[in-house]
Every structure is written in structure tokens, then in C-alpha cells.
Amino acid sequence: MKNGALWLDTDGRGIQAHGGSILQHNGIFYWYGENKDTDTHNRSVDFVGFSCYKSRDLLHWENCGLVLSAVNELGHDLHPDSVCERPSVLYNAETQKFVLWFHLDNRRYTRAEVGLAVSNTPTGPFTYMGSQRPGSHDSRDFTAFQDRDGRAYLFCSSDWNATMRVWELDKTYTKLTGSGKEILIDQAREAPALWHSGEKYLMFSSGCTGWSPNTMLYAESSAIFGSWRLIDAPCRGPGARRTFGAQSAAVFAANGQPYLLLDHWHPDDLRNSGYTILPITFENGLPALNWQDEWMGI
């Protein structure tokens, strides 16, 4: 598939999984994302729902439909007038539930909450459980991250995106324990995508320029609640200074190799926004993302 383009599913339809994340479960990859298959007005779309696609090779994606749908009831959190973005799904082995956190907002982005939905199966339907401001702080772009020890965290752009906050989830992944920390203070980062390599935790993030591409940077820390530092720009190749015209969505691993999923936003026609997947390599011990025209799967 051509990186940067809107990819097609196995039915030949455009994949609607923008701002997405990829979860591997029992040998199958599940791609969750925003279904934006409706007309764009003022650089915004009505909330349709979150889609799920599944694949074994990360190339042929079968549409599993909407796993959380908009609710056409006035005042409902999932009303089409709401902004629901960046679904991030974790599997909790203890409760055997799939836990979907997302960014819940209004069109002015002043609500700034995280929403929660839970399912017994990866393809849903997920049951909506409510929303909150983590630790009473605003939260816009965010990601949920599962550590190797089974602990999970939310990384949230906060203080009007000036500072990020990391929040610990409880054992069920459905509640916040209250433990949190400010990181990347006044660094103005969004679109966080987390992974770990060796002893390090790493994070890709973008600057805050709305739908317009900017320079992705990576940050690292030796612990989740450690001292996160922005290090450098990982992109190499044409358009690298503007992240190839894309923005980070999520990191996932396949056969031990980490990959980054990116969105190529089309602000005036959001449903046709494209995708890229690139392998994350290391050059002189530092993460690098080399542009490739084609995504060939695994």
C-alpha cells in the first residue's frame, strides 16, 4: 500500500481508522480508529464512531464495523456533535476485558476529558462507561500504554497542551489510581506514541499545530514516572522536517520489530486522510524513521 494514501480494506473501501492504535491479540492485529466517513465542515466532522479492522499480515484489513457508535440523543457524551478521538485499546489479562480509552471533547476542545468503554471481545461492541478529567486536569491528545509488568498508564497533553501528564491506571485499567506526574513541562507536545526498547521508554510526539504537520520529536526516560527528555527528530528522507506530512498515531510491535502508524490529515476532507506505517530503526543507538514509499506488511 502506498504510504500517505487512504488505504483500502478487503472490501475495497477506504479504511476509516484515523488517529488510531493497533493491538495484537492471539496472533491477530486489531486496528482501532476514528471513523470520519461523513462530510467535513469547518475542519471538523460529526462523530460517527470508532471502527475496528483486523489483519494477520498488517496489509489486508478486514472491516469489523463500528465498535463504539455515536448516540443520537441530545446531551449524550457520544452525540455526533461531540469530538471523540484517538481510541487506544489495551487488553487486561486479569479481567480478560478490552479497555478502550479515548479523547472526549466538544468542538471548541474546552471539555478536554478522557472517555472509557469496555468489551469482552476485541471486536466489540464496547460499552460506554463515562468520562473524566484525569486528576481534574484537562486532557486532549493522549495515549494508553501497557508496560511489561502489566501496569498501564495514560499519557495526556494537559494545561492547554503545554505540559504532558502521565497517570497510572489501576489493575483493571478502568480507573485512575491517582498517581500521576507532570512530564515534558512547557514543551507543548501532542499525539504521543509510546514504546520501550531495552531499558528505555521512548515517546514520539508532534508539536501543536492542529491538523498541519510539524516536526515530530522523540523523548526518552528510564522510567515511566522518571525524567522525560525531548531528544531529537527521528525522521529521515523527503519531507522529514514536517514528519513526511504526517502525525504520529501509535507504536505497535510485530515479531519484535516496532512500527509507527501515522496519519496524513486532510483537514478539509477528513474522511480521505491517509496512513503510513514505518519500521522504527536505530542509528547509532538512537531511534530513526526512514521514509518508505510502500508499506508491504509483515
Please give the residue ranges that form the binding site for ligand DGJ (CB under 6 A): 19, 85-86, 141, 190-191, 210-211, 247
3-state secondary structure of 179: strand
Nearest approach in angstroms of CB 191 to ligand DGJ is 4
Closest to ligand DGJ by CB, 37 or 147: 37
Residue among 3 and 243 whose Cβ is closer to ligand DGJ: 243
Task: List the grid coordinates of 41.
Answer: 465542515
Cβ contacts of 53 within 8 Å, gap of 6 or more: 9, 15, 17, 30, 31, 61, 62, 63, 64
Nearer to ligand DGJ, 91 or 109 (CB): 109
Contact, 224 vs 209, CB < 8 A? no
**Rounded CA separation 53/251 (Å):** 17
Q: How far is the CB of 257 from ligand DGJ (least distance, A)?
A: 25
In angstroms, the Cα distances linking 220 to 11, 152, 214, 215, 251 are 40, 17, 19, 17, 14
How far apart are CB 103 and ligand DGJ at their closest, in Å? 7
| Beta carbon of residue 206, minimum distance to ligand DGJ (angstroms, whole number) | 7
Nearest Cα residue to 250 out of 151, 101, 143: 143
Least distance in angstroms from the C-beta of 67 to ligand DGJ: 19
Chain position whose Cβ is nearest to ligand DGJ = 210
The residue length of the chain stands at 298
At which residue does the C-alpha cell 491479540 appear? 25
Q: How far apart are CA 30 and CA 17, in angstroms?
A: 11
3-state secondary structure of 157: strand
Backbone angles phi, psi at 265, to 5 degrees: -70, 140
Closest distance between ligand DGJ and the C-beta of residue 162, in Å? 15
- Taking the least distance from each CB to ligand DGJ, the nearer of 70 and 246 is 246
Q: Looking at beta carbons only, is 92 or 235 nearer to ligand DGJ? A: 235
The residue among 211 and 291 lying less far from ligand DGJ, judged by its C-beta, is 211
In the complex, the smallest distance separating the C-beta of residue 284 from ligand DGJ, rounded to whole angstroms, is 29
Residue nearer to ligand DGJ on the CB measure, 119 or 248? 248
| Shorter beta-carbon distance to ligand DGJ: residue 92 or 261 | 261
Give the cell for residue 94: 486479569
Nearest C-alpha neighbor of 187 from the set 168, 167, 213, 215: 215
Q: How far is residue 88's CA from residue 81's CA, in Å, rounded to a whole number?
A: 21
Q: Residue 187 CB, nearest distance to ligand DGJ (Å)?
A: 15
C-alpha cell at 113: 476529558
